[in-house]
Each structure stands twice: as structure tokens, then as C-alpha cells.
């Protein structure tokens, strides 16, 4: 029985409204309704189609969730062949000049004739697809195949939300749109992260992800993959006045609601083609999707027809590529590098390979978990990727090429590879529970971490040594004037004479640095603890430790279990502190600091009269009229109070200034007392 007229009208209205929201969200990147409202509309349409199956149409948005699995893909014959275009082998400027010269010769243009007009666009690294619209409704999608015939992948393509199921406006009787299905890098990374969290297989790279998704026999799998689409041309059409040029064709497709890439331009002559090629190369790494070059097309369709084809390739178009960003090579070794923060990173040593415009011999493997996930072994053939200035990385192993000699090896183990110690300094390595990175525990001593340790030690919130910046620290370390932070206080190493001879330094600057180092000796215990750079110990924890122990020696001699009695010090932080002080190198540096007079003043305990705020927790938000947040926090902590960064039921007071945000809202929701700066001053007796 046909559906009631009211149900049919409602279904039609829902389809139109949902597709408007899809277009706004996926194409324009401008959502028009909240997700909950979109879901409500979608469920209403699904319910109507279930109750009245005759309401299900080829352009229904509910088809985007995928249909029944197919036994195989049906063949599709292309009415107008989907031919590939010639690739210009010269990736430099001459590639554009050669193409322009060929076009001019074929058009019979003399030397003084005006330049040819071209449409220039991107060459996407995805899968070519044909979309067949009949009376404005998407009826079929097919792969390129061999150019003459491809495969029917309609069910999978319908799941791509950027592709309209019905064209906007007055649609032609028949319009075959051609373009590229691809997966953006951010979508690729998010998908893989989700797959790893679920312990499911990940995708090798965005291109394989796109191609593999479209060729899934089960469309529900394709529906889970975050695919995108850009149109680049037209095949067969009927009932449509074709524009006079290629750029006008793309504009018309965009008006129909079909996504067309914004990075396209009309230029005149070879030099403007070269300029476009260079501009896109500079932009390439910032694009959210992969391209392997640009495409030049003679803009006039009449001239395209005049130029015709040769060897089944159009004379009027060419792909001007960039150097490949992915290549295959062999892993000849796996080594471990120590970074400036102590992180140990496995690095693949590679048989030299030219990729991304340079010869690559090393590629990062990120961390031990990544090495195991990708199952990288010495002797493997791997895919290496290099994009712009990004460090080359191993993307995947080609298992089919794995030598039999390594098939039964155990997964690579970082701890075993380095025998449990940092090769830069010989100190123990450790990995916190739940962390993926192994780290060297000798923060103050390790040569690999030296510059970072000194910069942190001298930073404003630590010992605040004014003038000791990155360029000066680089020189001090490279000339071996400073090998640990204790050397800053050794007058035999750091003095006016030794500093004055450094680049961008003179006697006056040297005197200022020496004076700043001397002044830094007068510091608080909390600042000194923070300056040591103990992993997981920030400013707040350093203040808690200083209040609890009163001296650096008391802190050094306390074990991990006892440390957990300090407020907000849990097992992970306690192990970091105990492990730091267990290293003889670190204790030696602290002893030298004490000898130089850097001991750290014990925190002043609040007087009985001022003990009103002792033990209370405050949260600061907004801009106070007279005090900075740092000044307000210092006043609270000087009287035994604690300053937290987030509001909870344990918060006693929220001190709110101008433009207080979500913290104020949360305080009101939880019933936490809210005061202003004057209220804080009254509490502090100031």
C-alpha cells in the first residue's frame, strides 16, 4: 500500500533539509544545526522509510550508512572513456615550458601570437571516480578501471557525505561528473588513532585508505571511513548547455553543489604556469590532503577539441608533478637517539633513497610501541615518507618482501637495545606507567639534555637568571664552559672574561650576566626544586614539596612511599622524584649547587594571625584590578593556602576578576564561594 500523502511530503521535506545540513557541514564547513537536531531529523526519516518502504529513494540520506554486502562489483562501461593524462617528467620550470611549447605548435600559433589561456588545478593523490546523475539524482558511481570500463561502486560512494545525492538547482537530464575520492591527513590520523584504541587494523596511508574503502564489498565498512571528494571535470552530458571553457565547467559544477577545490586558477602562458607550480609547492605541506603535483589544461573547450588526443592521452592537458613524498627502501639498522628532554627515540637507518626532493638515510620510528605496531625489523623493505621539512618517517612495512631470516625474530625492544641505560651518559632509563616514551633519568647531567636543562633552570619561574637565553646557552655548552647547571656558579668557568669573548657579548653584557647569576643564589626552595627539571614536578608540586620538607636534603632522602604523603603527590610523581634523586650524577650537581650557595630558602610558615587561609584551596579566574594572578597566588601561598587551576567540590574560594569565564560558571553550579580581589585582601588581612 502506498504511503499516505502526509508521510510522503514529510519524507521529501526531511530529505531536502538533511541534505542542506550535509552540504553546510561537509562542503561549506559551516554547521547549521547542532548534532542532536541533525540526528533527530535523520532518525525521523529512517523511521518513515521503515514504515513505508516505497518512500526510500535513490537520493535518501539514509543510504549513506551503507547497504547490504555485495558478492562482487558489477562492470560499468564508460560512454566517454576516462583516460589518464600525460605526466611531465621534468619536475622543474622546464616542464611547464615544454607543455606550453607543444600546445602552441599543435595550435599552429606563431612566435608573436598571444599566450594560451590555461586552467591550472591540483593533482589529488586518491582514486578517480565517475558520478552519473540522472535528472539531478545520483544513480551510479564507477571507478576508472582501464579507462574504457570500471566497477560499479555506487553503494560505497553514497556513504561519502561531501558528494550530493541530488544536485542543487535545475539539473541536466544527464550529467556525468568526474573527480577524485581521497582521505584528508587529519581524518586519516583520527581514524587510525581510533582503530589503535580499539586494537583494530590501521590504514597504511591516505591514498591506500581511500582506494581500499571504495573497493570494499561491504559498504558499511566504507561508511566508517572518512572519505572526501573533489570534482575536476565532466564526461557524458545531456540537456545541458556546456560552458565555453574548463574553468566555467568547474564553476557550474560548484553551483550544482558538487565540491570543487578552491586552489584553481586561470593563467596565461608558461611563466604563469610556472608561478602556480611554485606557489602550490610552497603550500603543499600545509594542505590537509595529499597531492603529487598540479594539472594544466587548455581552458578553451574549442581549443581542446582542436588539439584532440595522441596515444589515448589528451594533447590539451598535462600533470606537472613534484618529487615523490613516499618511496621504498631497506632498513639496515635501528638505533636510539636521546632528545634534549631525555626522550629516547628509535631511528631507522636506511639504504639511501631519494624522497621528497632529498636523499634520506634516517627515518623516525617515534617510539617502541610504534615500532612494534608497524612490526619494523632490520632487513625489512619499508615505505618512507618525507613531506617538506617534516622529519622522514617509516610509514609501513611491506611484509611480502620480508627476508626469511628475520621472520621469526622477536619484536624490537628498546630497553634491550640500549641495555637499560642512556648511551649519552650511562644513566638508567625509565618509562612511567601508561606512557609510551622511555626517558633518561639524568636530567641535570645528561649531555643530550644539557641545553634544555640549563634553559629551564634559568627560566623566569625557576631561578630567573636574566639574559641567559638560548643563543648564549648554545655557546656555553658548545664551548664546554658549562656541562651542568652547577658550572654556572663556578667562577673558574663563568666570569666576565670568559663571557665577554662570546658572540654578541661584550664586557658590559658579561658583567650583567655574572651579576644575574650571583643574584639567583638568593631563591626559594620551591623555585630551586622546580628548576631541577624533575619529570612530572611543576610549580604547584614544587611548592607542596618545599612546604612539606623545608630543605632540599630532606626531600632527597625520602623514598617514593613516603613522598606520597605530600598533598597531591601520587605514585607516578613520587617515582619520578625518587628516581631523579637516586641518580648519583644528580646528587653530585645538587651538592655543588649547595657549595656555591644555592640552597633555597625554606618557605615562611603563616603566622597564627594570618592562618585564616592556611589549608584552603583557591582558584583564580579573570583579570583582577590590581594584582596579577602570580602576585595573588604568591600572597595566598605565603599564608599557607593553595592555588589550583581547576574548580571542584574541594575548592574553598574562587577569586573572580573581569572577564571570568567557565571557572566562574562551574563555581556557581557547585555552590563554591566566589569573592573578588577586595574579598581576598580581607581574608589575607591585607
**Mind telling me the catalytic residues?**
123
What is the mean predicted confidence (pLDDT) over 266-278?
95
Q: What is the pLDDT of residues 172-188, one digit of tens each?
A: 999 999 999 999 988 98
Helix (H) or strand (E) holding 669: helix 662-670
The CB density around residue 403, as the number of other CB atoms within 10 Å, is 12
Asked if residue 484 belongs to a domain, the reply is: yes
Same domain, 336 and 246: no
Same domain, 315 and 354: no
Asked if residue 28 belongs to a domain, the reply is: yes
pLDDT confidence of residue 258: 95
Same domain, 484 and 585: yes
Q: What is the pLDDT of residues 644-682, one digit of tens each?
A: 878 888 889 999 988 787 788 888 888 888 999 988 988
Query: Which three cell numbers, joined as nine digits, stand for 35?
Result: 548534532
Same domain, 217 and 315: yes
What is the mean predicted confidence (pLDDT) over 481-499?
94
Classify each residue of 24-37 as buried b or exposed e, where b means 16 or more C-beta atoms within 10 Å of its C-beta.
Answer: ebbbeeeeebeeee
Task: Collapse the DSSP code of 204 into the 3-class scheme (helix H, G, I; strand E, B; otherwise coil) and give the result.
Answer: coil
Same domain, 242 and 136: yes
Q: What is the mean pLDDT of the chain?
A: 87
Please give the Cα distance from 515 to 512 (Å, whole number).
Answer: 5
DSSP string, 537-596: --HHHHHHHHHHHSSHHHHHT--HHHHTTSTT--HHHHHHHHHHHHSHHHHHHHHHHHHT
- Give phi and psi for 352, each to the nearest 5: -50, 135
Give the 3-state secondary structure of 265-285: EEEECHHHHHHHHHHHHHHHH
- DSSP code of 492? T
Nearest to 618 by CA among 639, 600, 594, 588: 639
pLDDT confidence of residue 638: 77
Residue 510's pLDDT band, with cuts at 50, 70 and 90, is: very high
Picking from 321, 350, 385, the residue at the C-terminal end of a domain is: 321
For the domain that residue 290 is a member of, what is the CATH number? Answer: 3.30.470.30
What is the mean predicted confidence (pLDDT) over 492-516?
93
pLDDT confidence of residue 435: 80
Please give the Cα distance from 214 to 160 (Å, whole number).
Answer: 10
Same domain, 341 and 236: no
Q: Cα separations (Å) of 235 from 133, 182, 231, 626?
A: 11, 20, 11, 69
What is the mean predicted confidence (pLDDT) over 611-621?
83
pLDDT confidence of residue 35: 67
pLDDT confidence of residue 38: 76
pLDDT confidence of residue 83: 86
pLDDT confidence of residue 605: 53
pLDDT > 80? residue 34: no
pLDDT confidence of residue 247: 96
pLDDT confidence of residue 459: 92
Query: Which three cell numbers, joined as nine digits, stand for 304?
Result: 581542446
**CB distance 365 to 391 below 8 Å:** no
Query: Which three cell numbers, joined as nine digits, stand for 670?
Result: 557547585
Residue 50 falls in which region: left (phi positive, over 0), alpha (psi -120 to 50) or beta: alpha
- DSSP code of 485? G
Same domain, 561 and 489: yes
pLDDT > 90? residue 585: no
Q: What is the pLDDT of residues 324-372, one digit of tens each?
A: 778 889 999 999 998 877 889 999 999 998 887 788 899 989 888 889 8
For the domain that residue 557 is a member of, what is the CATH number? Answer: 1.10.150.20
Residue 27's pLDDT band, with cuts at 50, 70 and 90, is: low
**CB distance 320 to 294 below 8 Å:** yes
What is the mean predicted confidence (pLDDT) over 61-89?
78
Same domain, 525 and 409: no
Picking from 321, 338, 366, the residue at the C-terminal end of a domain is: 321
Query: Which three cell numbers, joined as nine digits, stand for 246?
Result: 574548463
Please give the Cα distance from 448 to 436 (Å, whole number).
Answer: 20
pLDDT confidence of residue 389: 57
- How many helices (H) and strands (E) would you count in the chain? 25, 24
What is the mean predicted confidence (pLDDT) over 115-127?
94
Residue 71's pLDDT band, with cuts at 50, 70 and 90, is: low
**CB distance 266 to 243 below 8 Å:** no
Please give the Cα distance from 446 to 42 (Å, whole number).
Answer: 59
Asked if residue 579 belongs to a domain, the reply is: yes
pLDDT > 90? residue 292: no
Place of cell 599543435: 106
Query: Which three cell numbers, joined as nine digits, stand for 124?
Result: 589529488
Same domain, 591 and 622: no
For the domain that residue 35 is a member of, what is the CATH number? Answer: 1.10.287.610
Same domain, 317 and 346: no
Relative to beta strand 86-88, strand 317-321 is parallel
pLDDT confidence of residue 653: 92
Give the 3-state secondary structure of 408-457: CCCCCCHHHHCCCECCCCCCEEECCCCCCCCEECCCCCCHHHHHHHHHHH
Please give the Cα distance from 276 to 282 (Å, whole number).
Answer: 10
Domain count, the chain: 5
Beta-ladder partners of 653: 618, 673
Residue 312's pLDDT band, with cuts at 50, 70 and 90, is: confident
Place of cell 594571625: 609
Same domain, 666 and 599: no
pLDDT confidence of residue 387: 67
Asked if residue 64 belongs to a domain, the reply is: no
pLDDT > 80? residue 323: no
Same domain, 662 and 524: no
What is the mean predicted confidence (pLDDT) over 464-484?
91
pLDDT confidence of residue 84: 85
Nearest to 673 by CA among 651, 642, 644: 651
Enclosing domain of residue 667: 617-684
pLDDT > 70? residue 607: no
**CB distance 457 to 473 below 8 Å:** no
**CB distance 184 to 226 below 8 Å:** yes
Picking from 295, 321, 347, the residue at the C-terminal end of a domain is: 321
Amino acid at each position: 500500500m502506498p504511503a499516505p500523502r502526509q508521510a510522503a511530503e514529510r519524507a521529501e521535506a526531511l530529505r531536502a533539509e538533511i541534505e542542506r545540513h550535509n552540504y553546510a557541514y561537509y562542503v561549506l564547513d559551516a554547521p547549521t544545526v547542532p548534532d542532536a537536531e541533525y540526528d533527530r531529523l535523520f532518525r525521523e526519516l529512517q523511521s518513515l522509510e521503515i514504515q513505508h518502504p516505497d518512500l526510500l529513494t535513490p537520493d535518501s540520506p539514509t543510504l549513506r550508512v551503507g547497504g547490504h554486502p555485495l558478492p562482487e562489483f558489477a562492470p560499468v562501461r564508460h560512454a566517454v572513456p576516462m583516460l589518464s593524462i600525460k605526466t611531465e617528467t621534468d619536475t622543474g620550470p622546464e616542464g611547464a615550458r615544454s607543455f606550453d611549447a607543444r600546445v602552441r605548435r599543435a595550435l599552429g600559433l606563431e612566435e608573436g601570437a598571444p599566450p594560451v589561456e590555461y586552467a591550472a588545478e591540483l593533482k589529488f593523490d586518491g582514486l578517480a571516480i565517475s558520478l552519473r546523475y540522472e535528472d539531478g539524482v545520483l544513480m551510479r558511481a564507477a571507478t576508472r578501471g582501464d579507462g574504457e570500463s570500471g566497477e560499479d561502486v555506487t553503494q560505497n560512494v553514497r556513504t561519502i557525505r561531501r558528494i550530493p545525492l541530488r544536485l542543487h538547482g535545475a539539473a541536466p537530464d544527464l550529467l556525468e561528473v568526474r573527480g577524485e575520492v581521497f582521505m584528508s591527513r587529519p581524518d586519516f590520523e583520527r581514524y587510525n588513532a581510533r582503530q589503535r584504541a580499539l586494537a583494530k587494523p590501521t590504514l597504511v596511508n591516505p591514498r591506500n585508505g581511500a582506494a581500499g574503502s571504495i573497493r570494499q564489498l561491504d559498504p558499511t565498512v566504507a561508511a566508517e571511513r572518512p572519505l572526501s571528494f573533489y570534482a575536476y571535470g565532466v564526461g557524458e552530458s545531456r540537456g545541458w548547455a556546456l560552458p565555453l571553457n574548463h574553468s566555467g565547467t568547474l564553476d557550474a559544477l560548484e553551483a550544482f553543489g558538487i565540491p570543487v577545490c578552491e586552489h584553481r586558477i586561470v593563467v596565461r602562458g608558461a611563466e604563469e604556469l610556472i608561478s602556480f607550480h611554485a606557489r602550490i609547492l610552497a603550500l603543499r605541506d600545509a594542505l590537509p590532503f595529499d597531492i603529487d603535483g598540479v594539472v594544466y589544461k587548455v581552458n578553451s573547450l574549442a581549443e581542446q577539441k582542436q588539439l584532440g588526443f595522441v596515444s589515448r592521452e589528451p594533447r590539451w592537458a598535462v600533470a606537472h608533478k613534484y618529487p615523490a613524498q613516499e618511496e621504498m627502501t631497506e632498513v639496515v639498522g635501528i638505533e636510539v637517539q636521546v632528545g634534549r628532554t631525555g626522550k629516547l627515540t628509535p631511528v631507522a637507518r636506511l639504504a639511501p633513497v631519494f624522497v621528497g626532493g632529498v636523499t634520506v638515510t634516517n627515518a623516525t620510528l617515534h617510539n617502541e610501541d610504534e615500532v612494534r605496531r608497524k612490526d619494523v625489523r632490520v632487513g625489512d623493505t619499508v615505505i618512507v615518507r618525507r613531506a617538506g621539512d617534516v622529519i622522514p618517517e617509516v610509514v609501513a612495512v611491506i611484509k611480502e618482501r620480508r627476508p626469511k631470516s628475520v621472520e621469526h625474530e622477536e619484536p624490537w625492544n628498546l630497553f634491550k637495545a640500549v641495555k637499560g641505560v642512556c648511551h649519552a651518559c650511562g644513566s638508567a632509563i625509565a618509562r612511567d606507567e601508561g606512557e609510551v616514551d622511555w626517558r633518561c633519568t639524568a636530567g641535570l647531567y645528561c649531555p643530550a639534555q644539557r641545553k634544555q636543562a640549563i634553559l629551564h633552570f634559568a627560566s623566569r619561574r625557576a631561578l630567573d637568571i636574566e639574559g641567559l637565553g638560548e643563543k648564549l646557552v648554545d655557546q656555553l655548552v658548545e664551548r664546554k664552559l658549562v656541562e651542568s647547571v652547577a658550572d654556572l656558579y663556578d667562577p673558574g668557568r663563568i666570569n666576565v672574561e670568559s663571557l665577554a669573548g662570546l658572540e654578541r657579548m661584550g664586557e658590559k653584557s658579561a658583567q650583567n650576566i655574572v651579576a644575574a647569576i650571583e643574584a639567583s643564589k638568593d631563591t626559594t626552595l620551591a623555585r630551586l626544586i622546580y628548576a631541577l627539571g624533575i619529570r612530572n614536578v611543576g610549580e604547584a608540586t614544587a611548592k607542596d614539596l618545599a612546604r612539606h620538607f623545608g630543605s632540599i636534603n630532606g626531600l632527597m632522602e625520602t623514598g617514593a612511599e613516603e613522598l606520597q604523603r605530600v598533598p597531591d603527590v601520587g605514585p607516578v610523581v613520587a617515582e619520578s622524584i625518587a628516581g631523579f634523586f637516586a641518580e648519583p650524577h644528580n646528587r653530585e650537581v645538587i651538592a655543588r649547587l649547595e657549595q656555591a650557595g644555592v640552597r633555597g630558602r625554606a618557605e615562611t610558615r603563616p603566622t597564627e594571625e594570618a592562618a585564616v587561609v592556611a589549608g584552603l584551596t583557591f582558584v583564580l579566574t579573570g583579570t583582577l584590578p590590581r594584582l596579577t594572578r602570580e602576585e595573588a597566588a604568591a600572597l595566598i601561598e605565603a599564608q599557607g593556602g593553595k592555588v589550583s587551576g581547576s574548580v571542584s567540590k574541594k575548592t574553598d574560594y574562587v577569586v573572580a576578576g573581569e572577564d571570568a569565564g567557565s571557572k566562574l560558571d562551574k563555581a556557581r553550579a557547585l555552590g563554591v564561594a566566589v569573592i573578588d580581589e577586595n574579598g581576598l585582601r580581607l581574608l589575607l588581612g591585607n
